[in-house]
Structures are given as C-alpha cells and as structure tokens.
Amino acid sequence: MHQTFAHTPGKPGLLCLHGRGTSAMIFDIQLVRLQRVLSPFFNFVFIDAPFESEPGPGVLPVFEGCEPFYSWTPMEAQWYEGIMNEKSLEVVTKELQKHEAAGMEVVGVLAFSQGTRMAAGLLHAQETRERGHKLLDSNEGEVSLRTKFKFGVFLMGSWPPLVLSSTDKEMRRISIPTLHVVGAQDQWRNNGCKLKEEYFNQSNAKFMELQVGHHLPAKDEETLMISEEVLRLWNEAMG
C-alpha cells in the first residue's frame, strides 16, 4: 500500500511538478523515498497538469490502470516550444493560492522531467517580477504569481523552460539557488545538463549525477544525497 504523507500545519511546502504523461498521484508514489526523509521538514504539494496525454516513458506497465495521465503542454505542441500555456499557469497558481490562504508558505519547487520546464519558467517569472518587469503580454496572471520560491530542485531535467511571454526569447539566467540531478544512464541526460548550463547562474546551480536512468533513484544512499542537498538549500535560504 502506498504511504500517504499528510500535511502538517506550520511546515513549509514544496510544490511538486510531475513529468509528461504521469499525474500528481504517480509523482507522489515516485517521490515516496524522498518524502520519507524530508517529510519532517516539508509538506509536499502535488498537482495535476491540465492536459490529458498518453503515458510517458516508463509509466507502463508499472502504473497500468492509473489513468488519466497528464502533460504540461498540449498534445499538439512541439516539444521545443517554450511558451507556458495559460491553463498550466492557472492550475499552478490556483493550487498555490489555496495552500497559502490556508497558511502554508510554499518555499521551493521540486520537479521531474517535463515538470522541470514548468519549474524553470516559474523561477524565471519570479525573478522577472522582482526586477519590476512586465511578466506577460497582457495583464492576465499578474496578480496570481505572488509565491516567492527560495530554491528549486530539478530531477532528470528537460528543456527549454516554459516562459510566460513571447518576449522572453533571450532569457536572463536564473539566480535562485537550485539543485540539478541527472542520471548517467538517462537517454535524455543532455537535456538536464543543457537546462542547467544555458538557463541558470552556474554559481548558484549545484550539479549531481547519479548512476540511474530516467527515473527517481531507488538506493537509500542516493535518496539521502538528494535530501541533504535539499536541506542545504533550505538552510541557506533561512540564513
């Protein structure tokens, strides 16, 4: 039986963004080892992407019968398109508003595979807003993006980031502290490397390579390595 980690009042939250062709429920299961270690420190906030899709890589047969599966981009979108869909922004901001209205401070974003594109876009939007620049081509969504992420965790990343405006063709590098975990046997390893190297300030972006494929690590020592880095990012953010 899958262990469910209940939210605890007073603990900060981590927004968890799943990969293409999975779901919040599946990502909850995939992150169970990491949650066991980090649940004393954080609440984990899972959310379904808005677009139904075919199952992602490696989802079947393990999660047979766990439909529907979701994606952060519409099925007809080309993978290299880098504009965040309004529906994706809407489901994320509504979830953040709900938990923050209940008193939970969401301090970090933790994402896997395609979810890292969404996470990078959210961090980029935050820094754009903090510089006093306009976020969108219209005013839609301006008010809802009030969360201040202190750090980001990118697991088996993808690229390019999903940014909010078509004017963001030349992205300024993201300076918010981050951890980037890639798998040495991941067939999309270079995507995670490219995300870190091209879109993040390297002095604030920690790189970690594990001997795994395109999935979360199963070994306790690898889970602990990630957990220690997440806690380092949080402790440094707290000063």
Per-residue pLDDT for 169 more than 60?
A: no
Distance from C-alpha of 143 to C-alpha of 148, rounded to nearest angstrom: 13
pLDDT tens digits, 17-76:
999 999 999 999 999 999 999 999 999 999 999 999 999 888 888 898 899 999 999 988
Task: Please tell me the predicted confidence (pLDDT) of residue 121.
Answer: 95
Average pLDDT, the chain: 90
What's the mean pLDDT in 102-124? 96
Distance from C-alpha of 28 to C-alpha of 212, rounded to nearest angstrom: 19
Distance from C-alpha of 130 to C-alpha of 57, rounded to nearest angstrom: 36
Per-residue pLDDT for 165 more than 80?
A: no
For residue 219, report the phi and psi dihedrals to the nearest 5 degrees. Answer: -80, 140
Per-residue pLDDT for 143 more than 50?
A: no
- Evaluate the CA torsion angle 167, 170, 175, 181 in order and state its sign: positive
- What would the two tokens of residue 3 be? 């262990």
Least confident of 46-50, 113-117, 137-141: 137-141
For residue 12, report the phi and psi dihedrals to the nearest 5 degrees. Answer: -70, 160
Per-residue pLDDT for 140 more than 50?
A: no
pLDDT tens digits, 177-235:
999 999 999 999 999 999 999 999 999 999 999 999 999 999 999 999 999 999 999 99
157, 196 contact by CB (below 8 A): yes
> How sure is the predictor about 137, in pLDDT bands with cuts at 50, 70 and 90?
very low
Ordered domains of the chain (ranges, CATH): 13-238 (3.40.50.1820)
More confident position, 121 or 139: 121
Q: Where are the beta strands (DSSP E) in 184-234?
A: 205-210
Task: Please tell me the predicted confidence (pLDDT) of residue 164.
Answer: 87
Task: Please tell me the predicted confidence (pLDDT) of residue 49.
Answer: 98
Task: Please tell me the predicted confidence (pLDDT) of residue 41.
Answer: 97
What's the mean pLDDT in 106-129? 95
Distance from C-alpha of 157 to C-alpha of 146, rounded to nearest angstrom: 25
Per-residue pLDDT for 9 more than 50?
A: yes
